[in-house]
Structure 1
Amino acid sequence: MHWVSGMWWIAVGALLIGELLTGTFYLLMVACGCIAGGLVRVAGGSVELQWAIAALVAALAVYLLQRSRRGRAVRVNPEHNPDINLDIGATLDVAGWRDGAARAMYRGAEWDVELAPGESEHAGRFRIVAVRGSRLVVRDAT
């Protein structure tokens, strides 16, 4: 059963290559389990102990990854996400409102503008807080 020692390291290499292709970190956690199994083999542990330690370390690593900040990715609504829409946070001037809607010049074109809930209608400078289709949702910037 001497070939088992080399198989752990081959598995680690294959998992690391797979991790580089996917970028999910889960294969990296399984590779940690294989490293533990290989270390048990080097220490002279039985094949059953190698598999048990490898499975335990991999399961624990995956569990800890899921509980970490990286494993709990929070989904943000794209219409409010400034990482997706660079217009969010920009300011524009609105001359007048009619029933919570207006037209305003922004980036060289006229846009439909609507007030965010709870905002009052007045002329002035507004900050974009969301983009719904081709409509800019704004709050008072002062």
Structure 2
Amino acid sequence: MKKTILVIVLFVTICLGCYYKSVQRNKKLIFDFAYEMVNVSIPINNVVSKHIECDKIGKAISVILISNFRKEYNKNPKKIYVYTYCEGLLNGTGKEIESPNKSQIYFVEFNDSLIIPVLLNNEAKIVAFSYGLKKGKENYLLRIDGIKEY
């Protein structure tokens, strides 16, 4: 009985450790994206090609959004923070977003007026980022990778 409990505890600990490591890796990737996004010395096209998976129309949208984010951030630059979906809701940074894969949503806080949601795919590439669009009663993210479903 003790061995069974020990095996279960060990298994749960390993699973939680793997999940934590994955979340921290994703946060680091998003932080790098956010830093490069507001860094005016890095061309916007380089940021898009390195961090974002998008189609032709999505690339144009990404370039426009990033240039607007840079302008807004430079009005009031502060330290950048990255939160998971649950952390963002708990600390009041994030807002409810309609998506079946909420574990892949992160919030990036640039300053008090600029907080954006970011959606990752399974390959840890950004497939949606925006202020969130109102569609009915729920908030949705605009996907830029050409896939119509969440």
TM-score range, shorter chain: under 0.3
> Normalising by structure 1, what TM-score?
0.28
The structure that is helix-richer by fraction is 2
> Normalising by structure 2, what TM-score?
0.27
Whose Rg is larger?
A: 1
